[in-house]
Amino acid sequence: MTWRGVIDAYRSFLPISGQTPVVTLYEGNTLLLPAPRLATQFGVDIYLKFEGQHPTGSFKDRGMTVAVSKAVENGSQAIMCASTGNTSASAAAYAARAGIKCVVLVPAGYVALGKLAQALIYGAEVIAIHGNFDAALKLVRQITESYPLTLVNSLNPHRIEGQKTAAFEVCDQLGSAPDYLALPVGNAGNITAYWKGFQEYREAGRSDSLPQMLGFQAAGAAPIVDGRLVPEPRTVATAIRIGNPASWQKAVQALEESHGRIEKVTDEEIIEAYKMVARLEGLFVEPASAAALAGVAKLAKTGFFPPGSRLVCIMTGHGLKDPDTTLNTCKLQPRVVPGEQQAVMELLHDLNVI
Ligand SMILES: *Cc1c(COP(=O)(O)O)cnc(C)c1O
């Protein structure tokens, strides 16, 4: 069967009618990769859901197909969002697909290079503000309340509806829900969406259990873990650099209902996990995605996971979006030698390759 996107695949679970013009880039159907080397290291059966495989390189496309389809159905000519980068890339792409306008507000200087390039090439009006994501979102909420622009941040319930399809896919790919579902938490829309999806799938008889939700925030941007707003969030993982999550209460509810946990990880732990998943499993993810794996590593060290349990870790975005972190933060650079065989051979010898 040809894959035609998450609306086509899960229509009966979504607020879509025969009248809804479906705006899609055939998103969804992403890989669920077994991670045998990480599994050995952590003593838990790990699968990585590679959401970086999406048309714009992050899971945001799942929600955007529904949000933009509904916006067009309701006659909207333009959409607007605040973004740490990936929401703007996705909104811009789906707006292009729909032939409507897109305006995005981003924090100046804190958007990964690839994400900024995406929003620009898809033709969005990109406005960088002196202020962080939380300030941008506040502005977007005010503007979209008074003007005919449809808000497509995850406050828009259609975003959550689309994103919950990731939980359906996990169940379909594994044959049932995993014991644990680990993911990074920023604005907390995605953890809300996964929990909703797992519950709905079980109610529909399409899976017979529910996972424990494990959320991870960056230590410098951990309002839910610390129980207080963070006025100036800081972290290398720009996608979760958020101090006042819009879906805070819903995230807490998902954690409580699933008997889950929310923890924080330092930037050092994030960078370590970022390199580890690339080197052990051949998967290049962005720093925010690595935060989830860093959290799993931390819990594994404390003996948190019973032997034989199954865990799915959500790799939310593609590593190619943020080459700066690889080259500059991690200080990974090529070695430079003269273009002669002897020079190359000497280096290979020094490196113990030959
Ligand atoms: C948006 C995003 C997150 C955070 O998701 P929330 O729904 O804001 O909690 C994490 N990782 C990546 C790559 C993202 O784009």
Predicted local distance difference test score (pLDDT) of residue 318: 98
142-167 residue pLDDT tens: 999 999 999 999 999 999 999 999 99
Distance 190 CA to ligand 1 centre (A): 7
**Could you tell me the pTM of the whole model?**
0.97
104-157 residue pLDDT tens: 999 999 999 999 999 999 999 999 999 999 999 999 999 999 999 999 999 999
Predicted local distance difference test score (pLDDT) of residue 88: 98
Q: State mean pLDDT over 168-177.
A: 98
Distance 84 CA to ligand 1 centre (A): 9
Percent over 70 (pLDDT), the chain? 100
253-270 residue pLDDT tens: 999 999 999 999 999 999
Indicate if the pLDDT at residue 334 is higher than 90: yes
| pLDDT band of 314, cuts 50, 70, 90 | very high
Alpha carbon nearest to ligand 1 atom 8, residue: 187
Residue 217 Cβ inside 6 Å of ligand 1? The answer reads: no
Percent over 90 (pLDDT), the chain? 100
Q: State mean pLDDT over 191-210.
A: 98
Predicted local distance difference test score (pLDDT) of residue 166: 98
Residue 254: CB partners within 8 Å, gap ≥ 6? 191, 192, 194, 195, 213, 260
Distance 13 CA to ligand 1 centre (A): 22
Alpha carbon nearest to ligand 1 atom 13, residue: 317
Residue listed under structure tokens 């008997």: 259
Residue 184 Cβ inside 6 Å of ligand 1? The answer reads: yes
| Contact present, 103 and 149 (Cβ < 8 Å) | yes
The CA-atom distances, in angstroms, between 122 and each of 56, 94, 99, 204 are: 10, 9, 11, 38
Predicted local distance difference test score (pLDDT) of residue 52: 98
First to last CA, the chain: 48
Buried/exposed 60-90: b ≥16 CB within 10 Å, e otherwise: bbbbbbbbbbbbbbeebebbbbbbbbbbbbb
Alpha carbon nearest to ligand 1 atom 15, residue: 86
| Contact present, 10 and 165 (Cβ < 8 Å) | yes
Indicate if the pLDDT at residue 177 is higher than 80: yes
Alpha carbon nearest to ligand 1 atom 1, residue: 239
Residue 233 Cβ inside 6 Å of ligand 1? The answer reads: no
| pLDDT band of 237, cuts 50, 70, 90 | very high
For a mutational test of ligand 1's pocket, the pick from 50, 187, 192, 216, i.e. the residue with the most ligand atoms closer than 8 A to its C-beta, is 187
Return the SS3 of 231: coil
Predicted local distance difference test score (pLDDT) of residue 348: 98
Residue 74: CB partners within 8 Å, gap ≥ 6? 150
20-41 residue pLDDT tens: 999 999 999 999 999 999 999 9
Q: Which atom of ligand 1 is nearest to the CA of 193?
A: 7
Distance 181 CA to ligand 1 centre (A): 15
Q: How many C-beta atoms surround the C-beta of residue 129 within 10 A?
A: 14
Indicate if the pLDDT at residue 1 is higher than 90: no
| pLDDT band of 241, cuts 50, 70, 90 | very high
